[in-house]
Amino acid sequence: MQAAAASPAAERRIDLPAAVAGPIRVVMGPQDDEFDDGRNLFLDSDWKISATSDRMGYRLEGPVIRHLHGHNIVSDGTVNGSIQVPGNGQPIVLMSDRGTSGGYPKIATVITADFGRFAQIPAGTAFRFKAVSMAEAHAEARKFAELLRTLPDRLRPIESFELNIEALQDANVAGAAVSAVDAGTWQIPSPAEALTQDKSGSIANQQADKKHENSRS
């Protein structure tokens, strides 16, 4: 898209409902019968996401969940949010880059409405799971789908404001700044201009550091 062809438009914000808090909701199964006391342990314990997690699966850290009949089953299909329990008893929540099938028993599945919220839990943060019925999971999925459908209707204009680029540069917050509604500020500097800006920024940083040192002394 050419900058000259862009038409200015008012910036907008989006009104969203309050974020859902509390435990991550799950539907138990489909192989929760492969566990005995492990089902209660899974729901009654605090869990943390391991730092070794990735887009294939979030590895959980917590109590060891024991299997009744071993940890290998005939491979079957998986979905986003399937919670497998491998041989070490530490659950793995399958994420967006998961495989299409898996051979570990799945104790539960994160409901669709909570999958995005679960994905944003930082590693090391304690949380819990809460079991809900299939009917409740379906109802929450319909509410979530309706929220996505109505997102365009939730856009609201915001008052325009004057972007003071010089003030940002003087405060050493940014070497360059653009306005989303001013196509004239979208120009990409040439290599020579970029080099000049980098040198200017380095000089400004050195001067600011020297001024700070002088003030301390």
pLDDT band with cut points at 50, 70 and 90 for residue 109: very high
Tell me the per-residue pLDDT of 87-102, one tens digit each, with 9 for 90 and over.
Answer: 999 999 999 999 999 9
Cα(39)–Cα(72) distance, integer angstroms:
18
Region(s) of the chain under CATH 2.40.100.10? 24-151
For residues 114 and 20, the answer to whether their CB atoms sit within 8 Å is yes
What is this structure's pTM? 0.68
Tell me the per-residue pLDDT of 24-58, one tens digit each, with 9 for 90 and over.
Answer: 999 999 999 999 899 999 999 999 999 999 999 99
How many helices, marked H, and strands, marked E, lie in the chain?
A: 5, 11
Cα(156)–Cα(11) distance, integer angstroms:
9
Cα(156)–Cα(70) distance, integer angstroms:
55
Superfamily holding 24-151: Cyclophilin-like (2.40.100.10)
